[in-house]
Amino acid sequence: MSENQKKIWITGASSGIGKAVAEKFAYEGWKVAVSARRKELLENLAKNENISSFPLDVTDQSQINNVFKDILNSFGDIDICLFSSGTYEPKDEQSIDPDKIKNVINVNFIGVIDCVKTVEDYFKNKKSGHISIVSSIAGYRGLPNSSGYGPSKAALTNFSESIYFDFKKFGVRVSVISPGFIKTPLTDKNEFPMPFLKTPEYAADKIYNGLVNGNAFEIHFPKGLTLTLKFLRILPYRLYLFLVDKLVKR
């Protein structure tokens, strides 16, 4: 491993966007630490000489601490942390199930908070680096059949906005990623048409360019969808609810 080789830690890397981003960064010559619960999938990824496997359950704070220590011991340092762990069961969200909603919140939101807390002192002491959090367009406004997933992503976006100011004082960049519909094992569960559906590789290219070549706080794509939803976000409730209700009934 070259001393000048850049290094990134990616959680939620066993499939979908996380996996594609790990492969993209590895292809571009970065040293990549990948984490997720499914150890066997990580081991397949780690057949790439630039990728190393560090299995992790983000709902276990002690595991997060230990894994980050192992990554630093192995890599020496980290330039970017990309936290993209997430879960989603659309059929479970068609009614309010408090236990299942709590599980989604624990994985999608609390797990990310615990990851950020784990790396906080490292980056602040280093006075450089980048923490990026994968949220979703589902966090822009309330959507049908999204009683757990949408709120968890809305919380992530708000959290990212909040910590941006604190980390900026230490020279550390914070960004949030808001993908549209990307064909992954999670979106394969959806039973409704997904406009502007894109591949994980498309998402990986957008994320890589946003993290490495851009400096925007939010990396969002595809623009045809995200800009439409951003417009809906500024509408007053009466008009927004009316339009979404009409779309759902089509």
Quote the pLDDT of residue 21.
97
Amino acid at 119: V
Q: How many CB atoms lie within 10 A of CB 242?
A: 12
pLDDT band at 13 (very low <50, low <70, confident <90, very high): very high
pLDDT over 90 (residue 245): no
Q: Is 153 a catalytic residue?
A: yes
Q: Is 149 a catalytic residue?
A: yes
Rg (CA), the chain: 18
What are the structural domains, with CATH classification, of the chain?
7-248 (3.40.50.720)
Q: Which two tokens stand for residue 217?
A: 């706080």
What angle is formed at CA 115 by the lines to CA 114 and CA 119, rounded to 5 degrees? 115
Quote the pLDDT of residue 92.
64
Instruction: Name which residue leads in pLDDT, 26 or 188.
Output: 26
Averaged pLDDT, 16-25: 96
Catalytic-role residue among 24, 53, 140, 149 = 149
Averaged pLDDT, 3-28: 94
Q: Is 162 a catalytic residue?
A: no
Q: Which two tokens stand for residue 247?
A: 């779309």
Closest by CA position to 94, among listed 237, 190, 238, 197: 190
Catalytic-role residue among 7, 19, 24, 153 = 153
Residue-wise pLDDT for 93-150, tens only, equals 677 889 989 999 999 999 999 999 999 999 999 999 999 999 999 999 988 778 889 9
Quote the pLDDT of residue 248.
67
Confirm whether pTM is higher than 0.75: yes
Quote the pLDDT of residue 51.
98
Q: What is the distance between the alpha carbons of residues 130 and 132, in angstroms, rounded to a whole number?
A: 6
Averaged pLDDT, 51-73: 97
Q: Which two tokens stand for residue 14?
A: 């066993």
In angstroms, the first-to-last Cα distance of the chain is: 55
Q: Give the CA dihedral 91, 96, 146, 250, nearest 10 degrees.
A: 70
pLDDT band at 188 (very low <50, low <70, confident <90, very high): low
Quote the pLDDT of residue 191.
65
